[in-house]
Structure 1
Amino acid sequence: MDISRPDCPAPVQVAALYRFARLPHCADLRAPLQRLCLEEGIRGTLLLASEGINGTIAGSPEGISRVLDHIRALPDCADVDVKLSSASAMPFHRMKVRLKAEIVTMGQPDIDPAASAGTYVEPQDWNALIADPNTIVIDTRNDYEVAVGTFEGAIDPKTARFRDFPEWFRNERGRLLGSGTPPKVAMFCTGGIRCEKSTAFLKAEGVEDVYHLKGGILKYLETVPEEQSLWRGECFVFDQRVTIGHGLAQGTYTLCHACRRPVRADDIESPLYEPGVSCPACHHERSEGQRASYRERHRQELLAAEQGRAHVGMVNPRPDQDGH
C-alpha cells in the first residue's frame, strides 16, 4: 500500500505518549498491545520497559482512542501523558511494540523518575522562569535537534545521544552552578520524557532547585501564542513530519534517509546532498560502498512508490527518543 494514501480518513491523528510507571511484567503486555494496534490500523512505535511506556502512534481518531484506553488501563498508566496532533498523511510505515531496558536511554539504572523528577512548570509560566537571571536553561536534546531550534538563551550540551548527558553535566557542573548560591536549573525536551529523567538525575546528584517544562516543547508550541514565544526556530519530531512550528504546524525541513537528520533547504543545494543517499552532515561519515547501497535502496523505494506499494526497506526517522 502507498503510505501517502493512509487507510484512515485524513487528517491522520498522531498521539505522542509516555508514562513512567512500574511495569515489572512488561513482556506480558506486548502481544495484546501489538494485536490491538494492528486491528485498529495504527502505525508507529511503542516502547515497553519495566520503567514505563513511550512512543508515537498514528491512525484514525477512533483507533487512537481505543489504543489509548487500553494503555490507560495498564498498571499506573491512567495518567499517561498524551499529546495529540494531526498529519496530512500517515507518518509511519508499520507498527512495532518493542521491549527495552529503558523507555528513554540514559544508562543510569538507579534513577527513578516516577519518584524523584523535578518540579513541573506549565507552558504559560515557562517564559517567566527562563527569563529570570537566576535561572540557567539547559536543552537536554541531541545536537542535531538543537540545531533546528531551541529556546532563547538555552545552553546546548552538544551531546550526540541522551546517554551522554550525565557525563556532560558532571564535567560542566562547576561552571554551570558556580561556588556560591546555586542557580535554579530549568530543563526542557521535545515532549517531556527526557526532562523527567534528566531532572531526576540532577536531583540524584544533589541539585535540588530543578524545574522542567510540562509537556515539553510540543505543549509550549501548542499553547503559547507565537507573538509571546521565546522559542526560536522549529522543533524536530520523530516521525516523517520531521519538524513542526508554532501551533504544531508542519515545518520546513525534510529528512536525510541515510543518517535520519533534518535537512534544510540550503542543504539540498549542496553537492554533498543526494536524496536517500547523503547530506552535508553525513557524507563524510559513510563510505562510497554504503552510499551505493543507499542509492539502490532509494531506487527500489521510488519504484515501489510508482507501483503503489510500500517498499520493505523503507525506514522511519530515528527511533523515538522522546516519545514525541
Structure 2
Amino acid sequence: MASEDYEVLRASITDTLELKAGRRYVVMTDVRVRKGATLVVEDGATILIQNGAVSSSEIGHAALIFEQGSVLKAGRLYVRACNDRFRPIKRADNGGLWFFGAYRSAAKDGLSVTAAPATDASSFSAVLIATYYLGHADPVSDSNDPIEDDRDGFSLMGVGPQEWDVAEVRSYHSADDGLDLTNSQIRLQRLRVVAPGEDGINLSSSTLQVARSLQVDVDITDVFDRDIFDFETDDGPSYVEIAQHCHVDICGVFGDQLHLKSPDMPAPSEADGVSYRFKDFLRQSPALVYSLNED
C-alpha cells in the first residue's frame, strides 16, 4: 500500500478530526476519541484496526474507543482488521470498536463508564457502521489474565437512546459476540450479524429495538453455548424489541432461559442445542425476546 493511501491515527483525539473517503486510517494502539472531541467521517471511509498484542494498550490490543462525551458524525463507516502491513485481513485479533455513553454506569472486560448528566452525553450518528473481523478469541493456553479473555468486536456501554442515531449496524466474523450492549438502550433500523465466534447478540441489562430488518446468522458449529441471543440481567432485564412489519431472518440456537412473545415466530425448543430458523416479515404484531431475571 502506498504511503499516501493511509494515515495512522494518534492515540488521543482531543479535537475535531475529519476522515476522508478514499483513504485508510490505521489504529495501531488504544485510540481514544476523548470527551468533547468529534470524529467526522466522510461517506465510505475505512478504519483499519491492527491485529496482534499491543503492550501500550490498556486492553492489550489495538482498539478504537469513543469515550463518554465524544461525538461521531459519519455516513457509511467501515472498520476492518488489518495486519502489520496495513492490509485488511480475514482474522480477528484486536481490541474491537467501543462506544461509551452517559446513560448508565457499565463495566466489562476491564473497562468502565460512570453515568453522568446530559451535559456529558455522547452523540453517535451514522448511516451505517460495518465491522469485519474485530475482537479476539480466548488464548490457546489457559490464562488468568482478564486482558487475554476473548473480546467482542462491537461494544456499547452505558449508551442511551438520546446518544445513539446510527441507522444500521453490520457485524461480520466477530471473534466473540457479534454485537454486545451493556446497560444500554438503542434503536436500529437494520441489524445484520454474520458468523460471530460466539453469540450473535449479547445484551447485559439492555434494550435493543430493531425497526426494519434483523438478520442474525449463527450456524451451529462445535463451539459450545453459541446462540442467536444471549441475555444477562445483573442490573435489570434485557429485551430485543422487533417492530411489526420488520423482516426477520435468524438461524442458529435460539438461546437458553429466554422468553419469546410473537404470534408470527414459532416458539423455540426448550432442548439444548436445537437449531432455530425463522425468515419472514412480522405481519401480525411486534415481537419481544426477553429475560427478566435469568442469565
- The TM-score normalised by the length of structure 2 is 0.25
Which structure shows the bigger proportion of residues in strand conformation? 2
- The structure with higher relative contact order (CA 8 Å, sep 6+) is 1
Structure with more helix by fraction: 1
Larger radius of gyration: 1
